[in-house]
Amino acid sequence: MRIYLIIILFACISACNSKPSNNANADTSSRQVEAQKPEISSQEALDLVQNQGFTFIDVRTPKEIADGKMEGALEINYKADDFQEKISQLDRDGKYVLYCRSGGRSGQAWTLMNELGFKNVKDATDGFSSINDALNK
């Protein structure tokens, strides 16, 4: 009898201390983040930097940057071991436009910056060449 009481007591304690799993809310939350992901065109990126005080962040490798970059862009290599450390040192209230070669790394960098609490970061998904072409039109 004593063993049954111990089992019942343990079951009650476990049930009271466990948090209900609500996968529907988790799915909704991640969909909301994706829906809010601010992907912008090359022309929009230029407008934000030239007219609205945004700063470019080039997340390409130094070898890629050697072929050219946007004037004034911060160079923070997404593939470097210290990428998150360097990003974390930026002003979370600052205004940034991320770009890479084709949109993959800048999208991943956007996700990280969003998780770190940055409030105003855009992702120029067309990449460096497209932004540079739009600049030279």
130 within some domain: yes
Q: What is the pLDDT of residues 18-51, one digit of tens each?
A: 444 444 444 444 444 444 558 999 999 999 999 9
pTM above 0.85, yes or no: no
Q: Which residues span the domain enclosing 130?
A: 39-135
CATH number at 98 reads 3.40.250.10
In this prediction, the residues of the chain whose per-residue pLDDT falls under 70 are: 1-37
Check if 16 is active-site.
Answer: no
**DSSP notation for 45-106:** HHHHHHHS--EEEE-S-HHHHTT---TT-EE--TTSTTHHHHHHTS-TTSEEEEE-SSSHHH
27 within some domain: no
Of 40, 46, 100, 121, the active-site residue reads 100
29 within some domain: no
131 within some domain: yes
Domain count, the chain: 1
Q: In the numeric block, which tokens belong to residue 27?
A: 């799915």
* Rounded distance between C-alpha atoms, residue 49 and residue 65, angstroms: 19
44 within some domain: yes
- Run of H or E including 40: strand 39-40
24 within some domain: no
